[in-house]
Amino acid sequence: MTKFTLNGTEHTLDVDPGMPLLWALRDHVGLTGTKFGCGLAQCGACTVHVDGVPMRSCQTFVGDIEGASVTTIEGLSDKVAETVQQVWADLDVPQCGYCQSGQIMSAVALLTETQKPSDADIDDAMAGNLCRCATYHRIRAAIHEAANRLEA
Amino acid sequence: MLPENLPEMIAKRVPQRLDLSSVSRRGFLLGVTASAGGLAIGFRPAQATEATSTEATSDAANPLEAYIEIAEDGSVTVLSSQFDMGQGSYHGLATLVVEELGCGWEKLSVRGVNGNTALYGNIAFGGAFQGSGGSTSIFTSWDRYRQAAATARAMLTQAAAQEWGVPAGEITIADGLIGHGDKAASLGAFAAAAAKLPVPGDVTLKAPDTWTEIGNPDLKRYDRVGKTKGQQDFTLDVKLPGMLTAVMIHPPKFGATVKSVDAAQAKAQPGVVDVVTIHRGVAVVAKDMWSAITGRDLVTVEWDESQAETRGTEQILSEYRALLDQPPQAVARNDGDTAAALAAADRVLEADYEFPFLAHAAMEPLNAAARMNADGTLEVWGGHQMPDLYQHIVSQVTGVDMANIRMHIMKTGGGFGRRAVGDADVVSEAVAIGQAIGWKAPVKVQWTRENDMRGGRYRPAYTHRLKAGLDKDGNIVAWENHIVGQSIMAGGPFGGMVQNGIDPTSVEGASNLPYAIPNLSVGLTTTDVKVPVLWWRSVGSTHTAYTTEAFLDEIAEAVGKDPVALRLDLLKDHPRHAAVLKLAAEKAGWGKPVAEGRALGIAVHESFQSYVAQVAEVSMEDGEIRVHRVVCAVDCGIAVNPDTIKAQMEGGVGFGLGAILREEITMTDGEVDQGNYDLYEPLRIDAMPVVEVHIVDSDANPTGVGEPGVPPIGPAVANAVAKLTGNRIRTLPMAKGMTT
């Protein structure tokens, strides 16, 4: 039994502690906004926040999150997240959309930590998130725009 | 077990050549049906011009045949014949409908449909079958969906005019409301009445100067919000009551088959339900994904490799290089007398190029789900890019009648060509697994990244040899291009398109070289390799644009001409090529000074009848290529969704750039070396340039943008690198070609 907080609510998981959090969330909790891309922490599609830190849920195991607070795309709610999601829509960032949950989780974590990220900050924070549609041009613009709106 | 060829009825209708310019867009009639208080506008044979009941014509396997449904509550559903893997085709078709119908966006949704070739067959493919490819979705839909929407609008107008007793000409429809004076009603209020009216034979489409949706640069995609909230469902997210999850063990070498399986340990593993052998390998079926993955590690398979491909890529490519020294097997184009002109030339330039196998590596690894219902109907969920063909294959694998198979067309996490596959690979796996476990539960087969990366269906490897003959004034008098590589279409459902030894997808972009050169020959040698190959975003142009545009720059340098001026001289009969070239050059500041340590390279290429030129601004940093900025000009006819066009050009640049810089599938003794994104690394954000897109104003019928953004970036970067370093990179990826 693993007890943790998921999107603000106490949660218990009765699965193999060696199961990646990704599959526990998707197959056992039923939250499917977090996507599977590689299973090796190479693509970032499965990014969630564990105690506020962006983590690849395919390489984070259920046994590791005892007592932790996990946030998925479905649980984003603060002002930074709302702004990021609004800007993402305003700039029409997604194409296929598959990687975008992970992109947004990483972007929200970046903007929570760094209010005015430089291009280099964005590269550092976002290079772990692959987008095969290559929406990177708009992701970069969206992060700058979100920073501007949050500052205003 | 699987069909080598399309069903006869489809195969004989597949055109020998995809030539959008000769395609008739007309030849369809719109019909109408009433649907539970609503209206559905679609196709009916010519005799059915009056309203008919839906019950008589639709069944569970093939849902309501239509392009548009308008429900009583005013909601409008666009039924899309075209597949959306992220390129925005659903939004494009919706734009056409919203424009002509006036239904607004608020109550609009789009759903993929199939099951009626007459209705949904792709006009660019001669209407022979339903499919999305070759950047044709807007092309095939441009008249159909506007006509359908305009017909619906006319009938709703008529119904409202009768009800309100006012002239039809005074009725307005906008933003989902039908209005007259102070009266206003939802479209749904008149849908049922409209469905009872005769279908007007001829409707007038809106004049371009009254368009509010088509060409609107501020219009955003209807599906964007759900994709920012994790609410967009993909096949990965399909969850059916009691559903099992399967993962595959595929042969490690292409062409190998299962000899024996030891699954005892796996079957004893908690969560594993079964281990079954099917036509494409061994499937581990479990109650969830993690149980399936862990169970898979415990299965031992012995393979029969007697028919397998055992060569590595080094050997394959070395054989390809040797084939360049032989005459080509087939000739795709032969103008004048190239051999004589080369022999008589003042100077001859020659260059060999080499291209690796490439994986599509879409973010959503391939998957499909299937459920057999108690009434004998079979439902299949997946990225069905060629749904009629897949339905046929499902029928062949399972023995279930076509009419009892329902294809659920899901949006997918990318495609890039990978989901239009002649043997319906993962779809056939899902139903074969379902069959093998006696359909005791719905099943989803989910490939892991390694399945996807090592599963074949790559952009083929190619070598090219180009020769140019120059006269004493530096004019190009001869051009010869010999291409060596596998055929994508031979031996598959589109094998009939290979004519006289030429697979058009091997030579496209080379055989239709637009430059005015009097003696021009393009030859092809098709190789026999058992690595499964497939179209990969922009297909033949992935390699032909590179060789033609990079080689032309070599010629420009050799004759001391500016690359833009040289191209314009040779493009006098190709104004659309010339226009995008000039526009990109002008916007990029071609000919003006560039920042210290940087250089510009340019390329222009037409694919799928859209014209794209790109200028890349490049520097070298610690021996590595850095692309800072790309200026792109595109002419795709009428720009239906300008922002989507920009997005596709941006994405095409990033997709193409990743490929030329780093991507490569290699094999050792027949086994693929790369299994995940660690060794096969697409472009990441830190290498993404700024992309500026300029769209040529046009009133030509619209063509596609999903693919044409990809081809020019490779040669544009190569030409800039040559300016900076003198190094003409002829072996891709560039990370490898820089050092060889």
B601 and B514 within one domain: yes
Min distance A56 CA to chain B CA atoms (Å): 14
Together in a domain, A143 and A85: yes
Out of B446, B474, B492, pick the residue that ends a domain: B446
Chain A nearest-CA distance from B178, in A, is: 29
Q: Same structural domain for residues A47 and A103? A: no
Instruction: Identify whether residues B294 and B428 lie together within a single domain.
Output: yes
Q: What is the ipTM of this complex?
A: 0.98
B306 touches A at CB < 8 Å: no
> Residue B660: in which H helix or E strand, if any?
helix B642-661
CB interface of B with A, residues 363-392, below 8 Å: 363-365
Residues A56, A70: one domain? yes
User: What single letter denotes the amino acid at residue B566?
Assistant: L
Q: Are B557 and B375 in contact (CB under 8 A)?
A: no
A34: nearest CA in chain B?
Answer: B230
Q: What is the mean pLDDT of chain A?
A: 98
Q: Chain B contacts of A140, Cβ < 8 Å? A: 685, 688
Across the interface, which of B225, B230, B413 has its CB nearest the CB of A96?
A: B413
- From B426, B446, B466, give the residue that closes a domain: B446
**Contact predicate B710/B717, CB 8 Å:** no
B230 shares contact with chain A (CB less than 8 Å): yes
Residue B389 has a pLDDT of: 92
Give pLDDT, residue B8: 52
Residue A49 belongs to what domain range?
2-75
CA B238/CA B368 separation, integer angstroms = 9
Residues B403 and B518 in one domain: no
Give the Cα separation of B138 and B149 in Å (integer): 15
Residue B206 touches partner A, C-beta closer than 8 Å: no
Calpha distance B67→B145 (Å, rounded): 7
pLDDT in tens, B397-428: 999 999 999 999 999 999 999 999 999 999 99
Strand order, beta sheet including A47-50 = A9-13, A2-6, A69-71, A47-50, A53-56
Which residues from A are below 8 Å from B227, CB to CB? 94, 97, 100
Report the distance separating Cα B579 and Cα B210, nearest Å.
Answer: 27
Q: Are B216 and B208 in contact (CB under 8 A)?
A: no
Could you tell me which chain B residue has the CA closest to the CA of A134? Answer: B651
Query: What burial letters (b/e) apply to B12-31, b meaning 16+ CB within 10 Å?
Result: ebbeeebebeebebeebbbb
Residues of A in contact with B361 (CB under 8 A): 132
By the CB < 8 Å criterion, does B225 face chain A? Answer: yes
Query: pLDDT at position B37, please?
Result: 63
Q: Note whether residue B471 is domain-resident.
A: yes
Instruction: Name every chain B residue with its beta carbon within 8 A of the beta carbon of A38.
Output: 449, 676-677
Are residues B392 and B530 part of one domain?
Answer: no
The CATH number of whichever domain residue B57 belongs to comes to 3.30.365.10
B703 and B643 in a common domain:
yes
Q: How far, in Å, CA of B685 to CA of B54, rounded?
A: 50
pLDDT for B54: 33
A75 touches chain B (CB under 8 A): no
Predicted local distance difference test score (pLDDT) of residue B30:
56
d(CA B280, CA A85): 41
CB spacing of A32 vs B230 below 8 angstroms: yes
- Whole domain around residue B716: which residue ranges? 313-358+457-737
Residue A122 touches chain B, beta carbons under 8 Å: yes
Cβ–Cβ < 8 Å for B254, B531: yes
Asked if A121 reaches chain B (Cβ–Cβ under 8 Å), the answer is: no
List, for residues B377-392, the tens digit of each pLDDT value.
999 999 999 999 999 9
Q: What is the 3-state secondary structure (H, E, C) of B187-243?
A: HHHHHHHHHCCCCCCCCCCCCHHHCCCCCCCCCCCCCHHHHHCCCCCCHHHCCCCCC
Residue B699: CB atoms within 10 Å = 7
Q: Count up the domains in chain A and report the number.
A: 2
**CATH number where A6 lies:** 3.10.20.30
Please measure the distance between the N-terminal and C-terminal CA atoms of chain A and give it in whole angstroms. Answer: 45
Tell whether B589 is covered by a domain: yes
Q: Which residue of A has its CA nearest to B289?
A: A23
Interatomic CA distance for residues B683 and B688, integer angstroms? 7
Q: Clarify whether residues B269 and B184 are in a common domain.
A: no
Residue listed under structure tokens 């497939």: B534
Q: How many domains is chain B partitioned into structurally? A: 3
Output the six-digit token pair for B251.
Answer: 């042969």
The alpha carbon of residue A67 is apart from the nearest alpha carbon of chain B, in Å, by 22
B477 — contact with chain A (CB < 8 Å)?
A: no
| Interface probe with A: pick from B84, B367, B685, most Cβ of A within 10 Å | B685
User: A48 and A16, same structural domain?
Assistant: yes
Contacts of A74 in chain B (CB under 8 A): 229-230
Edge to edge, the sheet with strand B281-286 lists B272-278, B281-286, B244-249, B443-446, B367-372, B378-382, B405-409
CA B686 to chain CA centroid, nearest Å: 26
What's the pLDDT score for residue B31? 59
Q: Do A35 and B690 touch (CB under 8 A)?
A: no
Low-confidence ranges of chain B (pLDDT < 50): 1-7, 9-18, 20, 22-29, 43-64
Instruction: State which of A42, A75, A108 marks the end of a domain.
Output: A75
Q: Is residue B560 part of a domain?
A: yes
Contacts of B643 in chain A (CB under 8 A): 92
Instruction: Judge: B655–A132 Cβ closer than 8 Å, yes or no.
Output: yes
DSSP line for B368-399: EEEEE-TTS-EEEEE--SSHHHHHHHHHHHH-
